[in-house]
Amino acid sequence: MKCVLITGATGNVGLEVVRALHRRGDVKIRAAVRDVAQSATAFHDLPNVQLVPFDFGDAASQTAALAGCDSLFLLRPPQLTDTFGDLINRAKQAGVGHIVFLSVQGAEHSRFIPHHKTEKLLKACGVPYTLLRPAYFMQNFTTTLRADLVQRRRIFLPAGRARFALIDVRDVGRVAAVVLAEPGPRHQGQAYTLTARHRLNFQQMADQLSQGLGTKITYESPSPWRFFWTEKREGVAPGFILVLLLLHYLPRFSAAPPLTQTVQEITGQLPIEFPQFVADNRAQLLGLASPP
């Protein structure tokens, strides 16, 4: 049976990749985690997953985790600046035959984001690869944007009326599972942009959240300066505020991102739309349940 190593396995996307592969049942799943004992609870309902120690900063852990693996799901944790040249070489030396990289929509045009460099390294490394370029995660509302939503019933982002292509990370997991598990070269050398079928601006997202949650959610779009100082006063790290600005302010000045049908083409299922995401995560979005 094919063996797949999943990095970032405890995170939003990685855990959904593990779950989707587990449902298929046709590959050996190795979840790469920083702390095997602490991570065990995240996988309590996934009995066929082997947890292996892995740190992006520790070459020895990478070599051990990669030994005997056929495929690698490579994810760049948001807090790291590495572009993974050494890890890609280690995977090559270990005989990994396919690397699936979680990039970001538009990475091919944005030379300043680290994903762009990793994509280039993969194209040059000689190991068959597939690039997944997902749109804006709906799950940002259950992670980075959740506190404002729960405590103030508001979205506070300098995004104006810019429209965003969205994706539920469960769909990213489903696509990744197909690409990792299917035999043959069909997905090799491909770059897949993953989106749901509708673009929304944040006012429309606030309206759909209000409807789905049964409580008014407001949307306020501050100037970049006001956004920066408000977040800084609330203790958010300046580097992270700049990332939020980049993600939400710059799209006001570029064309709306394209939509694709790739999720349906690869999985055979329509992608999850925003109202469904809201319904499925209602308790978390209202602050009635903690994030897992």
Ligand X SMILES: NC(=O)c1ccc[n+]([C@@H]2O[C@H](COP(=O)([O-])OP(=O)(O)OC[C@H]3O[C@@H](n4cnc5c(N)ncnc54)[C@H](OP(=O)(O)O)[C@@H]3O)[C@@H](O)[C@H]2O)c1
CA 271 – CA 213 distance, rounded (Å)? 21
CA 288 – CA 19 distance, rounded (Å)? 24
CB of 77 to ligand X, least distance (A): 3
**Hey, is 64 helix, strand or coil?**
helix
Residue 107: CB atoms within 10 A of its CB come to: 21
CB of 26 to ligand X, least distance (A): 23
Tell me whether residue 18 or residue 96 sits nearer to ligand X (CB atom).
18
In sequence order, the 6+-apart residues with CB closer than 8 A to the CB of 9 are: 15, 17, 18, 31, 32, 33, 39, 51
Task: Tell me which residues touch ligand X (CB under 6 A).
Answer: 8-14, 34, 54-57, 75-78, 102, 104, 134, 136-137, 140
Tell me whether residue 52 or residue 75 sits nearer to ligand X (CB atom).
75
Tell me whether residue 27 or residue 52 sits nearer to ligand X (CB atom).
52
Residue with tokens 């800084």: 232
Residues in the chain: 292
CB of 10 to ligand X, least distance (A): 4
Residue nearest to ligand X (CB): 11
CA 266 – CA 124 distance, rounded (Å)? 25
CB of 280 to ligand X, least distance (A): 17
Going by the DSSP 8-state scheme, the letter that residue 115 receives in this structure is H
In sequence order, the 6+-apart residues with CB closer than 8 A to the CB of 18 are: 6, 9, 29, 31, 43, 46, 49, 173
Phi, psi of 214 (to 5 degrees): 70, 25
CB of 275 to ligand X, least distance (A): 18
**Hey, is 89 helix, strand or coil?**
helix
Tell me whether residue 134 or residue 251 sits nearer to ligand X (CB atom).
134
Tell me whether residue 185 or residue 291 sits nearer to ligand X (CB atom).
291
Tell me whether residue 141 or residue 228 sits nearer to ligand X (CB atom).
141
CB of 1 to ligand X, least distance (A): 24
Residue 278, token pair as written in the block:
């809201």
Neighbour-count burial of 20, counting CB atoms closer than 10 A to its CB (0-12 exposed, 13-18 middle, 19+ buried):
buried
Q: Which neighbouring-strand residues pair with 73?
A: 6, 100
Tell me whether residue 40 or residue 215 sits nearer to ligand X (CB atom).
40
CA 254 – CA 279 distance, rounded (Å)? 31
Tell me whether residue 16 or residue 206 sits nearer to ligand X (CB atom).
16
CB of 78 to ligand X, least distance (A): 5
CB of 76 to ligand X, least distance (A): 4
